[in-house]
Homo-oligomer: A and B are copies of this chain.
Amino acid sequence: METLMLLSAEEAALRREKVQRLMRDRGIDGILVNDNANLFYFTGRVYAGFAYIPAEGSGLWLVRRPVELEGDGVAYIHRPEDIPSRLAEAGIAMPRKLGLEADIMPYTTVCRLMEVFKPAETDNCTPLIRMARSVKTPFEAELMRQSGIKHEQVYRKVPGLYRTGMTDHELQVEIERLSRLEGCLGVFRISGQSMELFMGNILCGKNADVPTPYDFAMGGRGLDPSLPVGASGDEIRRGTTVMVDLNGDFTGYMTDMTRVFSVGDLPQLALDAHQCSIDICRMFEKQALPGVEAKELYHAAADMAEERGLSRYFMGHRQHAGFVGHGLGIEINEWPVIAPRSRDVLAAGNMIALEPKFVIPEVGAVGIENTYHITPDGAVALTGAPEEIVALL
């Protein structure tokens, strides 16, 4: 037997109570979640089943698999229809107003659960949990700091992996190997089903300007139209850049980091745009304070690009991304979002990946990305690899 709850009692309470405060504000009596990211958030492990969190008191962990878990609040179920009896056995009243993950859960699953609970009222609890998860606890921040350290170790070794004549895909595979040996879990959690990625992207030269269907900051043709993003299998050419933006999930919490490498000399435009990205990060480190509006930070970044005459390359060239930064943690697309129409306001404890990037036609992508911890004293980077463009040859 093994204990289901892998968080300390204090940590589990901290996370749960943050959600419970938001639940009570909306008059929700209980929420039922089964998204893996949310189960991991509440318990420190992924299991198959549900978590029921009442507006007050401890959670109930309704487990289908694995067998042999135990501890406070653990109850086994075969099907969702078993949940009401488990609640009754635990002395938990059925909720009048039930919160369900309506932005994530399939339509038929929500309908089935409404049939099981027959609540007087139902509410969408996805935004509540996203809001709670956007402010990391000190323990979560520590897990991200650890991911950042390993992520940095991998990036520092990139120059040693390059060989003349390599394709972008071959270089990516060698970095993936190194990253996995360093302990990268590989899995790249993205909320929602529309975005897909394998271990991140390496973008070289012209391929950086190929539009993709995905809502990532950068493009790339990919190896196949079933996954049209990232490395194309083309040889890395002299006079172009190699942008590395790979998975930083070493602890269940991921950092996001981008660095640029070069083969041969680059035109001044590319060097200037890269410096602009670094300068935008320096600006962000000072201005990204709790209470600041996310959209202000987007405009401050876009304005710096415009002042230097770089707008047409900013966040893409043939196709532009609509944001310059995003929250992250268990998933890569958490809150807040640094975008022109974002209504988000920064809070201490946010983790934000800022990625002011530029695509220079025929040369490739430049710019950096750092993961920042928002504190009352400014944004602190967790991703410390050298920011300047590093020559591969």
Q: Which chain A residues have a beta carbon within 8 Å of chain B's beta carbons?
A: 6, 34-36, 40, 44-49, 64-68, 100, 102-111, 124, 126, 169-170, 172-174, 176-177, 180-181, 183, 185-187, 189, 192-194, 196-199, 211-215, 219, 223-228, 249, 251-252, 318-319, 330
Contacts and interface: CB of A to CB of B under 8 A. Distances in A.
A212 B252 contact: no
Contacts of A34: 194
Contacts of A224: 185, 251-252
Contacts of A109: 107
Contact of A227 (B68, B104, B187, B213): B187
A40 to B, nearest CB: 5
A181 B185 contact: no
A198 B176 contact: no
A225 B45 contact: yes
A170 B177 CA distance: 9
Nearest to A223: B185
Contacts of A318: 67-68
A375 to B, nearest CB: 25
A186 B196 CA distance: 11
Contacts of A223: 183, 185
Contacts of A169: 180
Nearest to A182: B173
Given A48-B215, A173-B180, A187-B226, 13 more contacts: A49-B213, A64-B213, A100-B107, A103-B108, A176-B176, A176-B180, A177-B177, A185-B198, A185-B224, A185-B226, A185-B227, A186-B198, A187-B198
A249 B198 CA distance: 12
Q: Which 3 A-B pairs have the closest CB atoms?
A: A226-B252, A186-B198, A66-B211
Nearest to A47: B213
Contacts of A225: 6, 40, 44-46, 252
Nearest to A176: B180
Contacts of A189: 196
A40 B124 contact: no
A206 to B, nearest CB: 15
A67 B46 CA distance: 38
B45 A228 contact: yes
Contacts of A6: 225
Contacts of A181: 170, 173
A198 B251 CA distance: 15
Nearest to A229: B46
Contacts of A111: 107
A121 B126 CA distance: 27
Given A46-B213, A212-B66, A103 B106 contact: yes
A194 B64 CA distance: 12
Contacts of A176: 176-177, 180
A176 B100 CA distance: 38
Contacts of A65: 211-215, 319
A193 B48 contact: no
A202 to B, nearest CB: 12
A48 to B, nearest CB: 4
